[in-house]
Amino acid sequence: MSSATTIIEPTKQKSGRSEIQRIFDLQKENQFEVANTSASQRIAKLKKLHEAVLKYRSQIKEALHNDYRKHPSEVDLTEIYPVTSEIKHVKRDLKSWMRGEDVKTPLAMMGSSAYIRYEPKGVVLIISPWNFPINLTFGPLASAIAAGNTVMIKPSEMTPHASALMSKIVKEVFEEHEVALLEGGVETSTELLKLPFNHIFFTGAPSIGKIVMKAAAEHLTSVTLELGGKSPTIVDETANVKLAARRIAWGKYVNNGQVCIAPDYAFVHERQMEAFIGEFKKQMKTFYTEDASSEPSYARIVNQKHFKRVKSYIDDAIAKGATIEAGADLDDSQDYIAPTLMTNVAKDSKLMTEEIFGPVLPVYSYTNIDSVIEQINAKEKPLALYIYSKKQSNIKHIIHNTRAGGTCINHNAAHFYNTNLPFGGSNNSGIGKAHGFEGFKSFSNARAVFKQHIPNALDLLTPPYDNFKQRLIDLTIKWF
């Protein structure tokens, strides 16, 4: 078999402290060489990554099937395409991003000019999660390379096949003094986090984001934190219920609900509730048949730990009086939880106090949109908030009175695919942004460059101060 069709088995590789330090030192030594590369040199590197992702496309699919039975087409849509489209975006625009930006000169600073130069932060660390292992590792990597950094990567231990394959790809495409991937779990992350990186790009849970930020604070390392949370969905009285049900069912069950921007729970206007439940159940069957366990399009929960977590949320909701509208069948031998729809879920149940991150949708009916807004605002700011409506004033009212990292109107999760939009959360759902120019900027320092051409006002205002100079200062404050 050719190298592109050999299955890569997970390694038990753990990177110890000395190995981590060795690579860090190597990258630190090499950082200016990488930093001073031209746009075409960086694009050439990204082209190699792009080619490798396509070369290993079938192995990526196999790896993700082995990790949690993800369907190959879903791998294409949610792992391969986001990476190739991110790289294409960088290839298209990198030259203009690297050119920097000229800024205006205030009148008082006449005789000078100024511009912003985006320079690489230096040696950066990317820590990625398991739920879209390829996408959320190689996507940020594309931005970090575009910005001219050297990069150390720690993927998740929960998708070992994907991590082992990414390790092989990284070794094949890059020299370790520019990009290195270190497999391992929490202990590897912990070792890495002790080092004085110039930036850390972390994707994962808010609770772990706090650990990362605390460690970063030790070295005053800047961070981008791509976190999670509960993303609410509102279906108002004017929404096209059939379309809403179809899109919400897709957003909820793709990747088995293990999506940071999945619609976590839904509020449906009471006039639409019955129709919504009916349409949603129809969509569940259309997508996954009567028995999703035998439908190959339906992935599994990643492992027993997370299976038990989601099961405990369902059990807790049922114990507190929730109604199962559909699903809730479980098979722990294969980490299977059927696509599930629930109503009457107590607001204090785990399904509503924790991020679900699994194929369960709690739905509530509402009459008053302001009470919905109040309930949303009582929780942490979500990574995404979705609105299904045909009424502009409703959409505006909801957007203006809530906060979220991103919003889709009449869709969900689709904003991730538009790399012209900043992607990320706010406070508990994240700090900083990814994708396109925003991703490039996250991995760059916006260096302020000021150039004096002819004598300026400051030259006239040096000590010793006297009445004439004070008058000039007064005039400057008054008029400029």
Exposure pattern of 69-107 as b/e (b: 16+ CB <10 Å)?
Answer: bbbbebbeebbbebbbbbbebbbebbeebbebeeeeeee
Question: What is the enclosing helix (H) or strand (E) of 232?
Answer: strand 232-235
CA–CA dist 243, 162 (Å, integer): 34
Alpha-carbon separation of residue 221 from 24, 196, 217, 442 (angstroms): 15, 7, 6, 12
CB of 371 to ligand NAD, least distance (A): 26
Q: Is 440 left (phi over 0), alpha (psi -120 to 50) or beta?
A: alpha
CB of 363 to ligand NAD, least distance (A): 20
CA–CA dist 155, 164 (Å, integer): 9
CB within 8 A of 118, min separation 6: which ones? 97, 98, 100, 147, 440, 441, 444, 445, 446, 447
Q: What is the dihedral of CA 295, 298, 303, 308, to 10 degrees?
A: -90
CB of 367 to ligand NAD, least distance (A): 31
Closer residue to ligand NAD, CB minimum distance, 66 or 189: 189
CB of 208 to ligand NAD, least distance (A): 3
CA–CA dist 384, 404 (Å, integer): 5
CB of 130 to ligand NAD, least distance (A): 5
CB of 398 to ligand NAD, least distance (A): 21
Closer residue to ligand NAD, CB minimum distance, 84 or 272: 84
CB of 133 to ligand NAD, least distance (A): 9
CB of 227 to ligand NAD, least distance (A): 5
CB of 102 to ligand NAD, least distance (A): 33
CA–CA dist 439, 27 (Å, integer): 21
CA–CA dist 393, 183 (Å, integer): 50
CA–CA dist 230, 325 (Å, integer): 21
Closer residue to ligand NAD, CB minimum distance, 127 or 342: 127
Q: End-to-end alpha-carbon separation of the chain, Å?
A: 72
Which pair of tokens denotes residue 96?
């203009």
CA–CA dist 213, 299 (Å, integer): 32
- Checking DSSP bridges between strand 323-326 and strand 265-269, what pairing results, if any? unpaired
Of 79, 86, 119, 226, the active-site residue reads 226
Give the residues lining the site for ligand NAD (CB under 6 A). 127-131, 136, 154, 156-157, 185-186, 189-190, 203-205, 208, 211, 226-228, 260, 355, 357, 383, 425, 430
DSSP state of 129: -
CA–CA dist 4, 21 (Å, integer): 31
Instruction: Return the closest-CA partner of residue 341 out of 251, 232, 252.
Output: 252
CA–CA dist 167, 154 (Å, integer): 10
Q: Give every strand in the sheet of 101-103, ordered side by side.
A: 101-103, 112-120, 444-452
Closer residue to ligand NAD, CB minimum distance, 230 or 247: 230
Closer residue to ligand NAD, CB minimum distance, 421 or 473: 421
Closer residue to ligand NAD, CB minimum distance, 163 or 340: 163
Q: Which residue is nearest to ligand NAD (CB)?
A: 228
CA–CA dist 450, 102 (Å, integer): 10
Closer residue to ligand NAD, CB minimum distance, 208 or 275: 208
CB of 222 to ligand NAD, least distance (A): 17
Instruction: Return the closest-CA partner of residue 340 out of 363, 320, 359, 353.
Output: 359
Q: Give every strand in the sheet of 340-343, ordered side by side.
A: 323-326, 340-343, 360-366, 265-269, 232-235, 384-388, 406-409
Closer residue to ligand NAD, CB minimum distance, 90 or 302: 302
Closer residue to ligand NAD, CB minimum distance, 66 or 156: 156
226 carries an active-site annotation: yes
Closer residue to ligand NAD, CB minimum distance, 308 or 451: 308
Of 183, 260, 279, 325, the active-site residue reads 260
Which residue numbers are catalytic?
226, 260
